[in-house]
Amino acid sequence: MASNILLTGASGFLGSHILKELLQKKYNVVILKREESNLYRIENLKNFSVFTLKKDYSNFNELFTHFKIDTIIHLATEYGRNLSFSKVLEANVLLPIKLLEASNKTHLKLFVNTDSFFSKFSDYQYLQPYIKTKKIFLDYLKDIEDVKVINLQLEHIYGEFDSDSKFITSVMKQMINNVENIELSAGEQKRDFVYVADVVSAYMKILEKENELPFFETFEVGTGHSLSVREFVEKMYSTTKSESNLLFGKLTTRINEIQDSKANNLSLKNLGWNPIYTHKAALERILKLEN
């Protein structure tokens, strides 16, 4: 079973939640950060180590010399909005490959990769650099020997303390502030909205069941059910008791938008994982924790 864990992307939304849970479960955790990373989300957490990666990646070997890492949870990613393809390739392919190369002939037993539902839609134009680079790295992972690789394909995550630029966070804050008019698309596209605490518990289940896992498998992480963006927004509206006007159809829906996505989570459920939060309970919890 995992004991010494390297966590990449710990300063992000999901990473900060996973770090908190790992520490509560008494794992030894090292977070990998870039020199420019902002750690505001985790500044109040204690009892973990920090390894700062140089821009040229020249100190990767020092990481595995100083720490006996047996598990890597890889969350760091670049979606490629307004970035060159080479920058996305560096973040999503070269960096994790260099990480794995540096770990060669060490104590590493398990590599948990983080993917998203976008990867299921190879023709989705909006995030092509992300989709293409994630596929390149996943193909690389499939050829790895001696280390178990688990690929977690996440559906649409939401939760407390996400970035204000994220759709759900942005709309919910506008509702809380009773912004007079909230402009939205028609919201007909459907998503599998999964609460962050349930996603975190999926990662914990993988660690718990490490010895039962094959050497490579993809698990889809979501509730297994999708609902329209409009329906979800209306649930938020009800929860916040907002007085805002919801202007559905005011914004144009993105061309070639993914119309429906939901997880096939049967294999993950067979490991003993189940999402426990209803949308209502999750939204109420977010409202309580953020206000």
Enumerate the β-bridge partners of residue 72.
6, 111
- In angstroms, how far is the first alpha carbon of the chain from the final one? 38
Query: Where is 170: in which H helix or E strand?
Result: helix 167-176
CA-CA-CA-CA dihedral for 104, 77, 90, 149, to nearest 10: 30
CB atoms within 10 A of CB 277: 18
Task: Spot the catalytic one: 27, 124, 126, 130.
Answer: 130
- Our answer to whether residue 130 is catalytic in this structure is yes
Per the CB < 8 A criterion, the answer to whether 141 and 197 are in contact is no
DSSP state of 253: P
Task: In whole angstroms, give the CA distance from residue 203 to residue 190.
Answer: 25
Task: Give the torsion sign (CA, 112, 116, 120, 121).
Answer: negative
In DSSP terms, which residues pair with 217 in a beta bridge?
150
Side-chain-facing half-sphere of 76: CA atoms under 13 Å: 24
Rg (CA), the chain: 19
Question: Which residue is it, tokens 């939204």?
Answer: 283
Positions marked active-site: 130
